[in-house]
Amino acid sequence: MPGKVSPDDLLAHVFGRTGTAADDETVLQGPADGEDAAAIALSEGDETLVVSSDPISLAAEGVGTLAVPVACNDVAASGADPRWLTAVIMLPNEETDLEAITRDLDAAARDVGASIVGGHSEYVDQLERPILSLTAMGTAEAFVPTGGAEPGDSVLLTKAAGIEGTAILAADFGDELGIDEETCERARTFVEEISVAPDARAIREYATAMHDPTEGGVAAGALEVARASGVRLEIDREAVPVRDETRRLCEAADIDPLRIFGSGALLATVPSDTVDDCLAALADAGLEGAEIGTVHQGTFELVLDGESITDPVEDDLYPLWAAADSEN
């Protein structure tokens, strides 16, 4: 099955095999369950270098536009401003539009204020579509982990659920779902909102934890915060903002808007007495936000409208891609 490697397999085969990281005092945050970025102490000053890598392999349209904010979001969600990028571009053949991909990478990097400083490119004829893998780097005054949520905190979500997934649905499946072109056109523009750097910048001074909900959407992201923090998150589905375009596309595809790629929204836990300040800071930045749940003492668990979730959440877009590939 496509998707992330399971937490059990990561624990068994990845987290304990990190070279000299355990003995390196500059490694403030290395590979760990739920943590999407590394934190490295710089030799001068109080700043921390934050580093994260992310691939884009399943979105057929606008892959270059998607790749930059997806990579930068984990850096931003860790309290840093993305500044540098490396890009690995794997192409299925020489007919692939490399010019369009690199043009989109350049524009997206300029939008987020980052420099592309290196990378690699090659043709791999076993591929059916391009694969991009970007590494993003930035500096932070204070590193914000995924695993910092504390009992008594409130859970916030910026913008809305399923922003990236909505754009992908409209681009890859809009014609098949019978959704009118006006709705699909609006949904496709959601790709312009995938960066959470402004969201994180607005509330990072308050946050105990921040997380970019990617694969598996808000549900998977909230579970990852719970698991990394060793707490129980209770989320009220009715409190989670879902845009009309997202709702209509998901209803047509018979999928859950809280379980599709969620880049564009930022999950954050904050002390409950700072919720109003956080929402005001987001509003000042021209961003929407909502309080969607609470953090409680207990073994890690996501409780979504009374349903207890502890197993990894699979993204509802994968079966759609699998069905499309089987028809080709």
Relative to beta strand 81-91, strand 27-29 is unpaired
Q: Does residue 3 register a pLDDT over 80?
A: no
Provide the pLDDT for residue 66: 84
Model pLDDT for residues 201-254, shown as the tens digit of each residue: 999 999 999 999 999 999 999 999 999 999 999 999 999 999 999 999 999 999
Provide the pLDDT for residue 250: 97
Provide the pLDDT for residue 59: 56
CATH 3.90.650.10 boundaries in the chain: 153-327
Confidence category of residue 321, pLDDT binned at 50, 70, 90: confident
Relative to beta strand 289-296, strand 48-56 is unpaired
**Mean pLDDT score, 188-210:** 95
Phi-psi domain of 82 (left: phi exceeds 0; alpha: psi -120 through 50; beta: other): beta
Taking each helix axis from N to C end, the angle separating 98-112 and 63-76, rounded to the nearest 10 degrees, works out to: 30
Provide the pLDDT for residue 290: 98
Confidence category of residue 189, pLDDT binned at 50, 70, 90: very high
Q: Which residues, listed in sequence order, are joined to residue 52 by a DSSP beta bridge?
A: 136
Q: Sheet of 38-41: strands edge to edge?
A: 27-29, 38-41, 48-56, 131-140, 81-91, 115-123
Lowest mean pLDDT among 20-29, 185-194, 273-282, 318-327: 318-327
**Mean pLDDT score, 48-69:** 83
Q: Three-class SS of residue 328?
A: coil
How many Å apart are CA 147 and CA 231, to the nearest integer?
A: 9
Which is more confident, 44 or 206? 206
CATH 3.30.1330.10 boundaries in the chain: 7-140
How many Å apart are CA 162 and CA 19, to the nearest integer?
A: 36
Model pLDDT for residues 286-295, shown as the tens digit of each residue: 999 999 999 9
How many Å apart are CA 122 and CA 93, to the nearest integer?
A: 9
Q: Does residue 297 register a pLDDT over 80?
A: yes
Fold classified for 7-140 = 60s Ribosomal Protein L30; Chain: A; (3.30.1330)
Highest mean pLDDT among 28-42, 58-72, 234-248, 313-327: 234-248
**Is the separation of the CB atoms in 171 and 60 below 8 Å?**
yes
Residue by residue, what is the 3-state secondary structure of 226-277?
HHHHCCEEEECHHHCCCCHHHHHHHHHHCCCHHHCCCECECEEEEEHHHHHH
pTM of the model as a whole: 0.89
**Mean pLDDT score, 276-305:** 97
Confidence category of residue 56, pLDDT binned at 50, 70, 90: confident
Confidence category of residue 161, pLDDT binned at 50, 70, 90: very high
Rounded percentage of the chain residues whose pLDDT exceeds 90: 73
Provide the pLDDT for residue 6: 86
Q: Name the token pair of 316.
A: 């509802």
CATH no. for 153-327: 3.90.650.10
